[in-house]
Amino acid sequence: MDISVVIPLYNEAESLPELHAWIKRVMDANHFSYEIIFVNDGSTDRSWNVIEELGKSNPEVKGIKFRRNYGKSPALYCGFERAEGDVVITMDADLQDSPDEIPELYRMITEDGYDLVSGWKQKRYDPLSKTIPTKLFNATARAVSGIHNLHDFNCGLKAYRREVVKNIEVYGEMHRYIPYLAKNAGFARIGEKVVHHQARKYGKTKFGLNRFVNGYLDLLTLWFLSTFGVKPMHIFGFLGSIMFLLGFISVAVIGFNKLHDMYCGNPYRLVTESPYFYLALTTMVIGTQLFLAGFIGELIARNAPERNKYQIEKEL
Ligand code: UDP
Ligand code: MG
């Protein structure tokens, strides 16, 4: 099979028939053998009925129905596990990504030798409240991942060599950093293609600003793990020792001051006399410990085996 198209979707019933017909048109015109994997991520609208309907008369349509809404990353991951095509294409279900890009994306993987080609929505039809945080986010992602040639990490339209999707695990908000995951897995030939983008025709966006916080935490922990390996606890132990030393020194200084005060009068009062100094020091030490404890929690949560568990209710 040439191509697997993986489409994660949450409440996109109105778009699906149009999207399916469009993909089919492009595939048939280019004589591709293909499958379309719709991953229904707990939609509460008629999306699943529409997929079942499409499946009846179209053997290339496959559907997976999650028991509830898990998020775009688990939906993609599930599609990646099923995909059988040599090239795997992901696209959003809302008709913002154009299936007309598929043949060129396919060519870039099979002929130009890319492992992954990411779409670049150079001219974007989304509100400013979305495009500005996205600019910020892309700049961070570029700096952290060291993939400097990508403008648009989070574009839903991407093409992969099959080995790539079989060797990465997309969880949490990781769909934003798939090129980084691929690079960490050893797939270094990452390219970009300017793609046509359209305004949303039906329904509304599922992503708000709150997802950016989680998205940044995912990036921070991913960067940490891929930079320092799987033994970050050494670093925490090291910082902990320094904190302990700092506490020890301050106790010694206070003790010395007190004794000196009692027996010789104190010419060394300096800054150590101020209670605010100790308050600040204590706050700093406790703050650092809490931050590190929280960070360890974030690391553990992202490595828990259930980070990507999803329940499937039905399949076709
Ligand atoms: N999506 C999903 N699960 C979610 C949220 C979104 O599968 O929890 C799908 C959604 O249906 C669409 C794609 O992910 O196919 C991108 O979502 P959306 O269009 O809302 O994002 P935007 O284009 O606004 O960034
Ligand atoms: Mg969209």
Ligand 2: distance of its center to the CA of 225 in Å?
30
Q: pLDDT tens digit string along 227-270?
A: 877 566 677 777 777 877 887 787 787 777 778 777 877 665 55
Q: Confirm if 166 and 87 have CB atoms less than 8 A apart.
A: no
Ligand 2: distance of its center to the CA of 266 in Å?
69
- Asked if residue 43 has pLDDT above 90, the reply is yes
Of 84-98, 194-208, 294-308, which has the strongest mean pLDDT?
A: 84-98
Which pLDDT does position 267 carry in this prediction?
A: 60
Does ipTM top 0.95? yes
Kindly tell me the sign of the dihedral angle through the C-alpha atoms of 54, 56, 58, 60. Answer: positive
Which pLDDT does position 290 carry in this prediction?
A: 80
- Asked if residue 272 has pLDDT above 60, the reply is no
This prediction has a pTM of 0.83
Q: Which of 48, 50, 72 to mutate to test the pocket of ligand 1 (most atoms within 8 A of CB)?
A: 72
pLDDT level of residue 275 (50, 70, 90 thresholds): confident
The CA-atom distances, in angstroms, between 262 and each of 113, 247, 248, 256, 258 are 79, 23, 21, 10, 6
- Asked if residue 271 has pLDDT above 60, the reply is no
Pocket residues: Cβ below 6 A from ligand 1 = 8-10, 12, 41, 69, 71-72, 75, 92-94, 96, 156, 205-207
- Ligand 1 atom nearest 94 alpha carbon: 15
Q: Which of 206, 212, 214, 310 to mutate to test the pocket of ligand 1 (most atoms within 8 A of CB)?
A: 206
- Ligand 1 atom nearest 75 alpha carbon: 7
Count how many residues are written for the chain.
316
Ligand 1: distance of its center to the CA of 10 in Å?
6
Q: What is the share, in percent, of the chain residues with pLDDT greater than 70?
A: 95
- Ligand 1 atom nearest 11 alpha carbon: 11
